[in-house]
Amino acid sequence: MVKVELKGVTKRFGDVIAAGDVSLQIEDGEFFTFLGPSGCGKTTTMRMIAGLEYPDEGGVFFDGEDVTNLPSFKRNTGMVFQNYALWPHMKVFENVAYGLRVRKVDGAEVEKRVDEALDLVHLGGLGDRFPSQLSGGQQQRVALARVMVINPSVLLLDEPLSNLDAKLRVEMREEIKDLQRKLGITTIYVTHDQEEAMAVSDRVAIQNHGVIRQVGTPSEIYSFPRDVFIATFIGRGAILEGAASLSDGRPRVDLGGFTVEGVDTVSAVGDGDRVACVMRPESFSVAEPGEPSNRLDGVVEWSSFIGPYREVKLNVGGTTLLVDVPPETETPVGGSLTVYIPVRMTIVLPWDEVK
Amino acid sequence: MGAKEIVRALRRELDAMTVIQLLIAYSILIVFLVIPLVLMVRAAFLYQGKFSFHWFIDILTSPEFISFSPRGGMLFEVRRGTMYIWGNDHGILLNSLIVAFSVTVLCSIIGVVAAMLMGRYRFPGKAVFRVLLLIPLLATPFVNAYVIGKLFSPRGGFINFLLVDTLNILPWRIDIDGLVGVILAQTLSFYPIVFLNVLASLNNIDPSVEEMAENLGAKGLRLFRTITFPLFRPGLAAGAIIVFIFSLEDLGAPVGFSGARGNPLARKLVSFQIFSSFAEALTGTFSPKIAALAVIILFLAVVGFLGVRRYVSRSRYTMLSKGGRWSPRLRTPSVMTRSLIIASLGFLVILASMPQIGTLLMATTNWATSGPVPTEGTTEYLATLTSNPDVSRAIVNSLIYSGAAVLIMVLVGSSVAYIVARRAIPGRSVLDILATIPVAVPGVALAVGYFFLFSSDFFRGSIIDPIVDPALLLIFAYSIRRLPFTVRSVSAGLSQVDKSLEESSLNLGANRPTTFFKIVLPLIIGHILGGAILSFVYSMSEVSTSVTLGALREDRVPITFFISQIVYGMAAVGSVSIGAALCMLLMAVQITAMAISNYVLKQKVAFLGV
């Protein structure tokens, strides 16, 4: 198991910047996720860790050792590809045994370790099949077994679940997380699905246009997005534009029809600045909370029963907010509704046009 | 990329296997393709030891080569009850251009019509036509033109026998000969190239784009002109330029036709002039004027080829279509139209397979000497293949040359295809062009180039000097000329192997050679074998270098040289029927190879394109 470090890694494909000065440190045994929209450079960043691409600038370090120009086959990483990349001309057993065979492990040992690896992913007894005879979920497990069998120092997972159906996706991600916890292997995961990222990761890096916008635990990123892009990309709810005025160092935001008091989590808001105000739908309550909060009176525009809660579009002074209320709340369209949001959950960020 | 990055990239990419592949590919391509052609060009531009356009000016100003007023010949002239269709002699160079241009236009018309009928209509017997239309692809070098010459002869030709003597539907006998004879013979053997390219384009058109145009009100000719034609135009251009180049360098038709009829007009073509000048090459000198002539057709062919290649690669519109599988639009026309389609395709098939049918008849009956129709069958000529030592030796020679050439082609071709498809090495596009361009290099030009390099003072008297022994050079000539087939086939295989299959192997600790041999090779072996078989077949029937370089030593001649000698009436072995028997053998080899490639290896036969 190793600690992975990227120092100022930059990779360009023509005019497109796939990785822009990426610097970060992934701890030994950590489950680390690159999350971002498609084309943001997350896969390229991972491929540079695997040695399948080489950075134009900067370096990649495993436990402090410079591996920037080391070819993939000397890095001992185990990568699971998005399309699994199982070799169609080899049976499952041979697919899994491949990494051991190129390492010249002797026959009996290969047999033992391949069987263990297949058992680990619940595929015991399927070694005789060809990949084409397996279901999507089974193919995915073979891909996983194929890299686990060589005891890689880093496990690299490139959108491993994107080809599975929704139910299997949840099942597999839990299995992957379990496996990682059990083996304590440094794992790097790439996905565009925020729920998946939140569910499995110790830490998440959000990438856009090649640049890392924020690194943090899932809850940090969810509750305290560092900029408007992240606030938009993660979670639900409206991002409202307004003008800030500072009182006692606390921002008050004029949102047109009404004003709210919020917190400046990144300490970058000045008096009179254009700002974005982030209010998550689930932060609202219909009863007044026992802490400083903003009271908003509005008219119900639209309401929809989701199950655990009721989603309401609430018009407050001409601005529409998305608000979750308890499912039993009466919310007739056109009726008035009063909701509260704690000041500490009203995030104020410098305004930024999201590209 | 700065110099530092290039060096770093090279250090990473150049592992031992890649270096070996690059060395093999580049050294063979440079020694057997680039240097010979460069030396030929150099010779053409040298006059009295100095750089000069002398030979080109000589050619371009001499009426022997270019004459805008006819210097003889007849075009639709009726004399004493015979309509002579020979074509006019406008000088050797202009004749070649007129012939190549006419053949290209005729093949394009026939090919497009046949492809539209096959690609857009449903009619009975279509599956049969799909096979029959490709019969002309079975090469029967020299004999095909000989058969056409014989069929259209005013004296005892079958066509006149049928239309004039038997049915009485023509007012005069017709005599097709000379340049028109060459045009006819070439058109009938080359139209499938256009047909296949256009048909492939047609099948690639997403039917919804035509349906959309119809939905917006375009119908019939307008739909064809505004949507369908522009979409298959790249396929047409690709097929047409190949036909143009093949016609320009073809020796089969001029030699075959003049062999059948003795009319010198069929010989007034650039390819024939270069061919016949090899007779004097035995003395160890070669006319720079002939080199200049070869440079001119090389230039026309290569420029045309690269131009069309560029055009085609820029206009791959069909790739815009997203998602879904489609089946091409097929209409079921009225009974009347269907009969018309069947009748016209049937006529085309009969006309176009005349050379192959004629070859069979000549090889198995007494048709060569019996007048308009054969009177009795014989196995005498087929028996010659094994009983006549000269004939058997030619067969064995061809088998050895082609077999050795295939080994070289597989080695070079798979290296080139792999490097071009997979490795980020600066200059790989040069390799790509070098491996593709042989399609556009006239064989006679290559032969002249070989003469300038390997009969030079440097190589004089060595084993590779064609005057000493042409065998090695023939092997390399076949390798270079048929290389594009192997490269194309291997590239097609590689494009079906996702890059991630290799990357996962590298990631699991296998180096590049292990990855190549354990992962890539097993996955593309079918394509490599398919390409090898195809290249073997085309090597067996190779004409241009075989009849020029092959002529230089009697015991080293390949099959095609032997056939040319028989057909041209120079061989002492006797009847042209022996040539036909050899062509029958060639056809059998071709049919077997295609069957293996289709049914055993499940490969589509890679056809000619850019």
Do A147 and A25 lie in a common domain?
yes
Nearest to B507 among A50, A69, A83 (CB): A50
Do A82 and A128 lie in a common domain?
yes
Do A129 and A46 lie in a common domain?
yes
Q: Is residue A106 part of a domain?
A: yes
Q: How many contacts does A have with B, using Cβ atoms within 8 A?
A: 72
| pLDDT at position A217 over 70 | yes
Looking at residue B76, its pLDDT comes to 80
What string of DSSP letters covers B194-246?
HHHHHHHHHHHS-HHHHHHHHHTT--HHHHIIIIIHHHHHHHHHHHHHHHHHH
Helical residues (DSSP H) of B461-520, grouped into ranges: 471-495, 499-507, 512-515
Please state the separation of Cα B32 from the chain's center in Å: 19
What CA–CA distances, in Å, run from A345 to A76, A281, B228? 44, 11, 61
Cβ-based neighbour number of residue B3 at 10 Å: 7
Do A258 and A195 lie in a common domain?
no
What CA–CA distances, in Å, run from B233 to A330, B312, B316, B318, B321? 66, 9, 10, 12, 17
| pLDDT at position A39 over 70 | yes
Looking at residue B570, its pLDDT comes to 61
Share of chain A above pLDDT 90, in %: 68
Cβ-based neighbour number of residue B167 at 10 Å: 9
Q: Which of A212, A228, A244 is the last residue of a domain?
A: A228
Cβ-based neighbour number of residue B6 at 10 Å: 11
- Determine contact, residues A316/A253, Cβ cutoff 8 Å: no
| pLDDT at position B573 over 60 | no
Which residues of chain B lie closer than 8 angstroms to A102, CB-CB? 508-510, 514
Indicate the pLDDT class of residue B610, thresholds 50, 70 and 90: low
- Determine contact, residues B507/A72, Cβ cutoff 8 Å: yes
Do A333 and A280 lie in a common domain?
yes
Instruction: Give me the amino acid identity at A53.
Output: E
Indicate the pLDDT class of residue B2, thresholds 50, 70 and 90: low
> In which domain, by residue range, is A189 found?
4-228
Residue-wise over B496-515: b if at least 16 C-beta within 10 A, else e? ebeebbbbbbbbbbbbbebb
Do A61 and A119 lie in a common domain?
yes
Chain B closest CA to A199's CA: distance in Å? 27
Instruction: Report d(CA B407, CA B416) in Å as an integer.
Output: 14
> Given an 8 Å threshold on Cβ–Cβ distance, is A87 in contact with B508?
no
> Given an 8 Å threshold on Cβ–Cβ distance, is B498 in contact with A83?
yes
Nearest to A85 among B11, B498, B509 (CB): B498
> Given an 8 Å threshold on Cβ–Cβ distance, is B8 in contact with A69?
yes
Q: Mean pLDDT over residues B248-258, rounded? A: 91
> Given an 8 Å threshold on Cβ–Cβ distance, is A50 in contact with B511?
no
Predicted-complex ipTM score: 0.84
Do A162 and A250 lie in a common domain?
no
Supply B497's token pair: 């192997």
| pLDDT at position B572 over 70 | no
Looking at residue B307, its pLDDT comes to 93
**Angular region, B72: left φ>0, alpha ψ -120 to 50, beta rest:** left
Instruction: Report d(CA B533, CA A120) in Å as an integer.
Output: 46
Nearest residue in B to A70, CA atom: B12
Do A144 and A160 lie in a common domain?
yes
What CA–CA distances, in Å, run from B132 to B137, B348, B476? 10, 10, 34
CATH superfamily name and code, B3-52+384-600? MetI-like (1.10.3720.10)
Do A247 and A198 lie in a common domain?
no
> Given an 8 Å threshold on Cβ–Cβ distance, is A99 in contact with B503?
no
Return the H-helix or E-strand segment holding A189.
strand A186-191
Nearest residue in B to A80, CA atom: B504
Supply B194's token pair: 């256009």
Q: Which of B 472-511 lie inside 8 A of A, CB atoms?
A: 498, 500-501, 503-511
Which residues of chain A lie closer than 8 angstroms to B9, CB-CB? 54
| pLDDT at position B143 over 60 | yes
Average pLDDT over chain B reads: 88
- Among A163-172, A290-299, B477-486, the least confident range: A163-172
Do A212 and A308 lie in a common domain?
no
Q: How many residues does chain A have?
A: 355
Q: Mean pLDDT over residues B549-559, rounded? A: 88
In chain B the first and final C-alpha atoms are separated, in Å, by 30
To 10 degrees, what angle do helices B92-120 and B178-204 make? 40
Q: Which of B 517-576 lie inside 8 A of A, CB atoms?
A: 518-519, 522-523
Looking at residue B606, its pLDDT comes to 52
Nearest residue in A to B502, CA atom: A85
Q: Is residue A355 part of a domain?
A: no
Label the pairing between strands A203-208 and A186-191.
Answer: unpaired
Cβ-based neighbour number of residue A129 at 10 Å: 15
What string of DSSP letters covers B547-575?
HHTGGG-GGG--HHHHHHHHHTT--TT--
Mutate to test the interface with A, among B504, B506, B515, B516 (most CBs of A within 10 A): B504
> Given an 8 Å threshold on Cβ–Cβ distance, is A81 in contact with B510?
no
Chain B closest CA to A146's CA: distance in Å? 8
| pLDDT at position B519 over 60 | yes
Share of chain B above pLDDT 90, in %: 48
| pLDDT at position B317 over 70 | no
Return the H-helix or E-strand segment holding A254.
strand A250-254
Q: Which of A171, A201, A228 is the last residue of a domain?
A: A228
Short-list A247, A228, A270, CA closest to A260: A247
What CA–CA distances, in Å, run from B383 to B366, B561, B569? 14, 20, 20
User: Has domain B55-315+330-367 been given CATH number 2.60.40.420?
Assistant: no
> Given an 8 Å threshold on Cβ–Cβ distance, is B12 in contact with A50?
no
**In this predicted model, what pLDDT tens digit does every residue of B86-117 receive, in sequence order?**
999 999 999 999 999 999 999 999 999 999 99
| CATH number of the domain where residue A331 is located | 2.40.50.100
- Determine contact, residues B457/B10, Cβ cutoff 8 Å: no
Do A241 and A276 lie in a common domain?
yes
**In this predicted model, what pLDDT tens digit does every residue of A103-144 receive, in sequence order?**
999 999 999 999 999 998 889 889 999 999 999 889 999 999
> Given an 8 Å threshold on Cβ–Cβ distance, is A51 in contact with B506?
yes
Looking at residue A248, its pLDDT comes to 78
Q: Is residue A62 part of a domain?
A: yes
Q: Is residue A96 part of a domain?
A: yes
Looking at residue B607, its pLDDT comes to 58
Contact of B514 with chain A, judged by CB distance below 8 Å, is answered with yes
> Given an 8 Å threshold on Cβ–Cβ distance, is B507 in contact with A103?
no
Do A102 and A183 lie in a common domain?
yes
- Determine contact, residues B356/B145, Cβ cutoff 8 Å: no
Mutate to test the interface with A, among B18, B508, B521 (most CBs of A within 10 A): B508
Q: Mean pLDDT over residues B550-558, rounded? A: 88
**Total tally of structural domains belonging to chain A:** 2
- Determine contact, residues B188/B348, Cβ cutoff 8 Å: no
- The dihedrals phi and psi of A270, each to the nearest 5 degrees, come to -110, 165
Chain B closest CA to A14's CA: distance in Å? 10
Instruction: Report d(CA A24, CA A26) in Å as an integer.
Output: 7
B484: helix, strand or coil: helix
**Angular region, B548: left φ>0, alpha ψ -120 to 50, beta rest:** alpha
Rg (CA), chain B: 25
Instruction: Report d(CA B610, CA B608) in Å as an integer.
Output: 7
Supply A46's token pair: 């991972």
- Give start-end residues of each CATH 1.10.3720.10 domain in chain B: 3-52+384-600, 55-315+330-367
Which residues of chain B lie closer than 8 angstroms to A150, CB-CB? 508-509
Instruction: Report d(CA B610, CA A245) in Å as an integer.
Output: 69
> Given an 8 Å threshold on Cβ–Cβ distance, is B9 in contact with A54?
yes
> Given an 8 Å threshold on Cβ–Cβ distance, is A79 in contact with B507?
yes
Cα three-residue angle B497-B500-B504, rounded to 5 degrees: 120
- Determine contact, residues B95/B71, Cβ cutoff 8 Å: no
Looking at residue B321, its pLDDT comes to 52
Indicate the pLDDT class of residue A354, thresholds 50, 70 and 90: low
- Among A80-84, B182-186, B236-240, B597-601, the least confident range: B597-601
- Determine contact, residues A132/A88, Cβ cutoff 8 Å: yes
> Given an 8 Å threshold on Cβ–Cβ distance, is B510 in contact with A73?
yes
Which chain A residues touch B if contact means CB-CB below 8 Å?
A: 50-52, 54, 56, 69, 71-79, 81-83, 85, 87-89, 98-99, 102-103, 146-147, 150
Instruction: Report d(CA B8, CA B19) in Å as an integer.
Output: 15
Indicate the pLDDT class of residue B605, thresholds 50, 70 and 90: low
Instruction: Report d(CA A290, CA A287) in Å as an integer.
Output: 9
Residue-wise over B202-218: b if at least 16 C-beta within 10 A, else e? bbbbbeeebeebeeeeb
